Amino acid sequence: MKKIYGVMGDPIAHSMSPDIHNDAFEKENIEAVYHHFHVTKEGLNDAVKGMKALGIEGFNITIPHKESIIPFLDEVDELALAIGAVNTVVNKNGRFIGYNTDGKGFFKSLCDEISGDMKAKKTLVIGAGGAARAIYFTLVKEGVKQVDIANRTKERAAELVSDCPYDKISKALSIIEAEQSLSQYDLIIQTTSSGMSPEYDHSPLNVDRLKTGAIVSDIIYNPLQTKLLREASEKGAKTQNGLGMFINQGALAFEIWTGIMPDTARMTDIVLNKLG
């Protein structure tokens, strides 16, 4: 009998997770199928109970349920609890255990795609939302020495810094302050939704003072080249889009479920084909 996995969210129809996971199950000869489940905020508790009653082996959680699912789980891993969001659940003997692979997926894609010691890089994260939280907490837990946060609303950056249990040396900055001190940073990570839609070609950061040889990473992958990445690239920066983060958060979820690290190059081809 095929094992069942899936992803819950609202909206969910656009999700590319079924494409990458179903292909990986087939490639690894695992008798399993991965569905997308449209679950509303009101339906979340019932959906989790239903998943358990049906013996679903594991699932991903996306917008808007990453935070609100936590009370419905039996156990949550330490990093996911600190972040306050879960994107992966595994069924271990009838108990649902939550993890967050977003930050780890980001860090893995950074280390895989860019050469050099990422832990030694002086890092600036742009944004203070859920994605920034997962990435920032993971980077400092992984041992990246200095990670500062800049946000349009500086108070939210300060809140993020004071919430982080792994680090006490980060600074919170406004965007203008970050732009003025940009030449200090070796690695810049853009986590806001600004620049997401091709019609709204906006960059949240002026890169005039970018350090020579800096790395600029944008977690957006649709479009593959945001305005920020184009401008950074023109200044000679090494750039990275968010495709690797998406692939690796999925690959790490697959590994939690099956113990197997799937072929990420194959997953990347599937998403690139779909993006056209």
Of 39-47, 75-83, 146-154, 266-274, which part binds ligand ATR (CB under 6 A)? Answer: 146-154
Least distance between ligand ATR and beta carbon 10 (Å)? 15
41 in catalytic set: no
Least distance between ligand ATR and beta carbon 248 (Å)? 18
Of 93-101, 124-132, 225-233, 252-260, which part binds ligand ATR (CB under 6 A)? Answer: 124-132
226 touches ligand ATR by CB under 6 A: no
40 touches ligand ATR by CB under 6 A: no
240 touches ligand ATR by CB under 6 A: no
Distance, CA of 194 to CA of 203 (rounded, Å) = 7
Q: Indicate which residue of 41, 52, 66, 274 is catalytic.
A: 66
**What is the per-residue binding string for ligand ATR in 148-177, x denoting contact by CB under 6 A?**
---xxx--x---------------------
Structure tokens at 102: 């977003």
* 30 vs 128, beta carbon nearer ligand ATR: 128
The response to whether 117 counts as a known ligand-binding position is no
86 touches ligand ATR by CB under 6 A: no
The string of DSSP codes covering the chain is: --EEEEEEESS-TT--HHHHHHHHHHHTT--EEEEEEE--TTTHHHHHHHHHHTT--EEEE-TT-TTTTGGGSSEE-HHHHHHT---EEEEETTEEEEE--HHHHHHHHHHHHS-S-GGGSEEEEE--SHHHHHHHHHHHHHT-SEEEEEESSHHHHHHHHHH-TT-S---EEEHHHHHHTGGG-SEEEE-SSTT-STTS---SS--TTPPTT-EEEES--SSSS-HHHHHHHHTT-EEE-THHHHHHHHHHHHHHHHS----HHHHHHHHHHHH-
The response to whether 242 counts as a known ligand-binding position is yes
The response to whether 129 counts as a known ligand-binding position is yes
103 touches ligand ATR by CB under 6 A: no
Least distance between ligand ATR and beta carbon 138 (Å)? 14
* 174 vs 233, beta carbon nearer ligand ATR: 174
43 touches ligand ATR by CB under 6 A: no
Number of residues this chain uses to bind ligand ATR (CB under 6 A) = 16
The string of DSSP codes covering 51-92 is: HHHTT--EEEE-TT-TTTTGGGSSEE-HHHHHHT---EEEEE
Least distance between ligand ATR and beta carbon 63 (Å)? 8
Residue ranges in contact with ligand ATR by CB under 6 A: 127-132, 151-153, 156, 191-194, 202, 204
Q: Which residues are catalytic?
A: 66
